[in-house]
Chain A
Amino acid sequence: MLNILLIGLNHNTAPIDIRECIAFSTDETEQALKILKQDEVIKEVLLISTCNRVEVLLVTENKSKAVEISKNFISKFNQIDISKFEKHLYIHEDNEAVRHIFRVASSLDSMIVGEPQILGQIKDAYNLANENKSSGLILNRLLSRAFFVAKRVRSETGIGGHAVSISYAAIELGRKIFDTLEKKKVLLIGAGEMAELAVEHLLRNKVGKILVANRTFERGVVLAQRFSGNAIRFEEIADYLNQVDVVVSSTGASDFVITRKQVKEAMHSRRNRPIFFIDIAVPRDIDPKINRLANTYVYDIDDLKGVIEENIEDRKREAVIGERIVDEVVVHFQQWYDSLDVVPTIVALRKKIDDIVQGECGKLLQTLSHPSEEDQQAVTRMTNALVKKILHNPTLFLKSDDANENKSISIDITRKIFNIED
């Protein structure tokens, strides 16, 4: 019987420096698949490598040997001593391997639960295996189930629900204030990775004009060009408060850049249209008292972090539902997998043929007028012999070494030809 085996390490089990050493690029993955596939023990193989995990998923007849081969391979390929990474490895067999790959695909095992990239990465890994013909019947089925379960988890739970990054959380809040961010004017004060990321998110939400204010005007101009907006002078900020709707601030200033008084005046001339301040700077740029004015909303970095934490908690709660879906699909997969065994297939085949023959035999005996006891026995003998002879060669084939080369495929085909249900 073939076994499914998964050997790997991830962000929970291995520190980053180990993961870095072992990571495979696309080209390397391709090479690795070719090398691993050459080994007789390994029937099918798939390699997943992302920045958070490296996993070898394979189908083998000899588990312990396959584990040895994989370890040696990783060691040799990456020129790293086995002892260095061995203790970070996890090895899952059969059902556990199936569950693991389902959980990974559904993003239940991700560092940030519910992040969507992992599914794409697994799809890429699978395509690569497919192109290199290193995946076969079992992995094909397993991965197609994994994609299915990932889809279900995403649509049936809120696992991918709410923002878990600062900049994205700010966007989500913006949408709770303004119905749509489309055509809203944005003012970016200062610069910085997180602030710029927030502006990029805003642009993706089709905001209107972008204004950039920087202490050094020239830097502002460069940044404004990047977002195809306009630069304004730092001293002009207060004058523009009456026309912008979203302010993203991230300066190194030690004092408040925007004061309550300025905003209060601006609110009057903007006729109380709401304004949303996103303050990413530490120390803060925007006076928190502004939040208490009508129709103004101020979120600083801690507030946004608070939002994210709640969202992460939320995702974790939703993940429990996801685990239940995974369990369900693991059971289904197990049923299919068990059906690939020789003995139950032969038994099922025999029963199928026997049922047909017995049925037809019964019909025949009914149409004959008064068959004698002997006649009936003769017919039964004949049919029994028929069943035996028909099944003789298929049974031999399924049990033979020829079939063993690709046993699961032979079994699968047999079951399909004779339409044998699980």
Chain B
Amino acid sequence: MNFLVITTLIFYLLSTAGYIVYLFLQKDRLYRAGYYLLAIGFLCHAVLVCAEAFIVGHIPVHNLRGTLLVAGLTIAGVFLVLQFKFKLKILGVYVAPLTASVLFIASRLPDTPMQQINNVFNSVWLISHIIAIFIGEASFALACGIGIFYLVQERAIKNKTQGFFFRRLPSLELIDNTGYRCIIIGFTVLSVGLVTGFVYAEFVWGRFWSWDPKEIWSMITWLLYAALLHGRISTGWRGRKAAIMSIVGFVVLLFTFFGVNFLMEGHHGEFTRF
């Protein structure tokens, strides 16, 4: 298992190196190398997660280590798929180090066994709930990075400083559109994830909604992105505002992901706790 973690990490780090050198030298070869290295890393990572899932008998998200492991995998996966469509070559500069560090942190955490054995994890509803939530969150992670790129580029253009990033980042419109697409994808998939979660809750606890802090914060996150999309469609919140919103949205999402579990009690508790 450890061998797989290290192999995956090495590929992610190589990909990071490839993308960073690409940032400086702007040779397409390097960008492609970064992409393929990340893809190989992703495959190793997938094998790793599958192996763990096989051992514990369900998607391994019963502790923080597993959760991060799956989060890293989905970020890499979502990026690899979306990058096919997107023309934002520079995005790898954000994603490759992100996946590498998520994996690294995961690998340093203890692999605590599940506290109580039950069949909580083996339901179609729950599996789709977990997968959808992770994919949605991965898209929002990308949107956050794209938002940062936007702010950097906008600043360069507004301040009239033709710096390092001005040359290397694409046009504002392209960055903005790409971020928007990420939010749409993330929002759609997250909504599916929430619904399946409600259905599952109905089965297990007999009610859709139980005022669990995780549920409340998920709803807040969802509303935030809903507001962002609504603002864009109705009054044209684009550019800087949208970029800041997607960064803020991701920070709130991170709090929902980690903070709630550390600070508050609830039935999602053990999933992301040590």
Contacts and interface: CB of A to CB of B under 8 A. Distances in A.
Question: What 8 A-B pairs have minimum CB-CB distances, sorted nearest first?
Answer: A271-B236, A272-B236, A179-B171, A179-B174, A295-B239, A179-B173, A303-B160, A310-B162
27 contacts: A175-B171, A176-B157, A176-B170, A176-B171, A176-B172, A177-B157, A177-B171, A177-B173, A178-B171, A178-B172, A178-B173, A179-B177, A270-B236, A272-B235, A272-B239, A273-B238, A274-B172, A274-B239, A294-B240, A295-B239, A295-B240, A299-B160, A303-B160, A306-B160, A307-B162, A310-B162, A311-B162
Interface of B: 153, 157-158, 160, 162, 166, 170-174, 177, 235-241
Contact of A297 (B157, B236, B241): B157
A350 B238 CA distance: 79
A294 B239 contact: yes
Contacts of A295: 238-240
Interface string A269-308: 0111110000000000000000110110101000100110
Contacts of A257: none
Contacts of A329: none
Contact of B237 (A173, A272, A310): A272
Contacts of B153: 176
Given A179-B177, A272-B239, 20 more contacts: A176-B157, A176-B171, A177-B172, A178-B171, A178-B173, A179-B170, A270-B236, A271-B235, A271-B236, A272-B237, A272-B238, A274-B173, A294-B239, A294-B241, A295-B238, A295-B239, A306-B162, A307-B160, A307-B162, A310-B162
Interface string A214-243: 000000000000000000000000000000
Contacts of A271: 235-236
Contacts of A272: 235-239, 241
Interface of A: 173, 175-179, 270-274, 291-292, 294-295, 297, 299, 303, 306-307, 310-311
Nearest to A297: B157
Contacts, number: 52
Identify which of B160, B174, B236, B237 gathers the most chain A CB atoms within 10 Å of its CB. B160
A275 B235 CA distance: 16
Contacts of A176: 153, 157, 166, 170-172
A294 B238 CA distance: 9
Contacts of B157: 173, 176-177, 297
Nearest to A291: B158
A273 B236 contact: yes
Contacts of A307: 160, 162
B266 to A, nearest CB: 39
Contacts of B170: 176, 179
Contacts of A291: 158
Contacts of B237: 272
B240 to A, nearest CB: 5
A256 B235 CA distance: 28
A85 B158 CA distance: 49
B154 to A, nearest CB: 9
A133 to B, nearest CB: 44
B74 to A, nearest CB: 28
A272 to B, nearest CB: 4
Nearest to A303: B160
Contacts of B166: 176
A127 B257 CA distance: 71
Contacts of B240: 294-295
**Most central of A175, A177, A311 by chain B CB within 10 Å:** A177
Counting chain A CB atoms within 10 Å of each CB, the highest count among B162, B235, B239 belongs to: B162
A230 B166 CA distance: 34
B168 to A, nearest CB: 11
Nearest to B239: A295
A165 to B, nearest CB: 15
A297 B160 CA distance: 10
B72 to A, nearest CB: 31
B149 to A, nearest CB: 13
Contacts of B241: 272, 294
Nearest to A169: B162
A111 to B, nearest CB: 22
A152 to B, nearest CB: 16
A311 B157 CA distance: 15
Nearest to B174: A179
Contacts of B173: 177-179, 274
A289 to B, nearest CB: 12
A270 B239 CA distance: 13
A192 B263 CA distance: 66
A178 B171 CA distance: 6
Contacts of B172: 176-178, 274
Contacts of A292: 158
Contacts of A270: 236
A126 to B, nearest CB: 33
B118 to A, nearest CB: 51
Contacts of A273: 236, 238
Contacts of B162: 306-307, 310-311
B193 to A, nearest CB: 30
